[in-house]
Amino acid sequence: MFTEVTNAIGEAAGAIMNMVPAAGRLTIIPVSKFDPVPIPKGAPWIAMFNQDNWSEEEKYEFKDPQPSGTNKTEQRFLGVRPKSLTVEILIDGTGASGEKKDVTAELISLRRTVGFNGDLHMPNLLFVIYGLFIFQGIIESIDIQHTLFRPNGTSLRAKVKLTFKEHEETTSKILKSNLMSADLTHTRFIKEGDRLDNLCNSIYGSPRFLLEVAKANGLTTFRKLPVGQELTFPPLEKQ
């Protein structure tokens, strides 16, 4: 059963990655669910320009009791809060960059992509992807600053700050836990048509660790792998 689930996740992940444009622009893909298999729901929202920022935050919780009669502080680790991701994007309707967008329409489309889902009774489940960075979560906040206007008051340019909160469901957590038990180093020679997400899926049972593999091999992209190069797939440390 586990193999069937991980294979299905691998196929779904491949379908999701195919929705990301080759130019590498930030892409937000809504999915109907994460558990057990991520299924794209609706068209992706694609940013106009390449990113100049991608900020992740991870907070650790401690209990800091201070018993009476002592000056010593003993901190007890409680756990790790879900990660958060913050990105800033620019929507430009002037055409100065060679690409002209309707700012109002783009903002409506963005809100529809990340916003409230009546079937889930919560915001849409999302994959946020830029290059080798992949974040799985839901929207936490949207901050829009309109910086240029037409004479009639409609927006010509907007800066948008998006904050996402990590969201993982049961099967994803179990899958990650099982993958962390891998204790062997694997190597593969790249053949024409090979994709890093598919290779990770065949070795680890999931493509979720392609970022770690790319970093371990000094890759700057997972789209065009150098044919003939030997890639190392290291063991995944237990956490």
Q: Return the pLDDT at 68.
A: 56
Spatial distance between the Cα atoms of 65 and 74, rounded to a whole number of angstroms: 6
Spatial distance between the Cα atoms of 65 and 80, rounded to a whole number of angstroms: 18
Is residue 29 within 8 A of residue 129, CB to CB? The reply is: yes
Spatial distance between the Cα atoms of 201 and 207, rounded to a whole number of angstroms: 5
Position 16: which residue type? I
**Look-up of token digits 């927006």:** 155
Q: Can you state the percent helix, strand and coil of the chain, rounding each to 5?
A: 25, 30, 45
Per-residue model confidence as pLDDT tens digits over 34-63: 665 667 788 899 999 999 999 999 888 887
Task: Of 1-5, 140-144, 191-195, 208-212, give the lowest mean pLDDT range.
Answer: 1-5
Per-residue model confidence as pLDDT tens digits over 161-174: 999 998 866 445 54
pTM: 0.65
Residue 225 pLDDT grade (very low, low, confident, very high; cuts 50, 70, 90): confident
Per-residue model confidence as pLDDT tens digits over 88-146: 999 999 999 888 899 999 999 999 999 988 777 889 999 898 987 888 899 999 999 99
Residue 114's CB: how many other CB atoms inside 10 A?
A: 21
**Structural domains of the chain sorted by starting position, each given as residue range(s) with its CATH number in brackets:** 1-57+79-179 (no CATH), 183-239 (3.10.350.10)
What's the whole-number average pLDDT of the chain?
A: 80
Is residue 111 within 8 A of residue 143, CB to CB? The reply is: no
